Amino acid sequence: MPTIPALLQAGPTYSLEFYPPRNEKGDRQLARTLDHLMPLEPSFVSVTYGAGGTSRERTEEIVHDIRSRFGAQVLPHLTCIGHTKAEIEALLRTYEADGVTDLLALHGDPPADGRVLPEGDFRYAVELVEFVRELTEFSIGVAAHTEGHPLATSREADRDHQAAKLKVADFAMCQFFFEARHYIDFMEDMAARGVTTPVIPGVIPVTNPAQTRRMVEMAGGTFPTELGARLEGAETPAEGRAIGVEHAANLARELLDAGAPGIHFYPMNRWMATTDLYDALGLVETV
């Protein structure tokens, strides 16, 4: 199975992100979503890793399930905050045994409930990248923040830090955003710093504007006022979904035209809007 960097070299990738559910209802929802979306044959799918490693076992289970049921390329997220080298190595060996070829190495967020984590053996994502390289042959991705990291002290410092991180990675992936200029400006800044690492932008077909706005604000991003007004003015869920899909499709086209090597979609463990988005982009084969 080719690695994600190899897929990117072959042409635009179209990938999906899923997260571990918190309860049985969520498990059923994810199972239905996978049944609907995996037949679309995404280039690869990613599975997130909860703050402080809270979803470690569930992430492993979902990665294994997708690999075994669908034979798909899976990109597990792996965070280093609060983890020892022994814990990380155990995860690496599990993923090797499952046929995984790529990892997304992240620092990770502290638990939302304020729980204090053990100190751990890593301070920065770059240290995790170096550790994984020493032990394995995985291709390694990192996170890119097109609108800047929320904890950055300045734009220039943030860009310098991100450039240093991207230079040691094989590829990078972005959280979702809503205007192509954020990605274009970011890539220009990275090029000026000598970065050639491919960066995959993130796109979400918004169906829940209030939830999405909260997520964007937590990540330090911006949510367009006009898009929010259109979504909130929708008279039916179907109308709102159509607005979200239209914006996402237009953004994806603009990003690809600007040279993006692929698009990473955020279905939020649901399928209808993403199915519509694949159709809008002409990615669904018709008989």
String of DSSP letters for 206-267: -S-HHHHHHHHHHTT----HHHHHHHHT-SSHHHHHHHHHHHHHHHHHHHHHTT-SEEEE--
* Beta bridge partners of residue 103, listed in sequence order: 140
17 is catalytic: yes
- Nearest-angstrom CA–CA distance, 198 and 172: 6
Structure tokens at 155: 């734009």
Q: Who contacts 132 (Cβ-Cβ below 8 Å, separation ≥6)? A: 78, 88, 92, 103, 105, 138, 140
Catalytic residue from among 17, 96, 232, 285: 17
Residues identified as active-site: 17
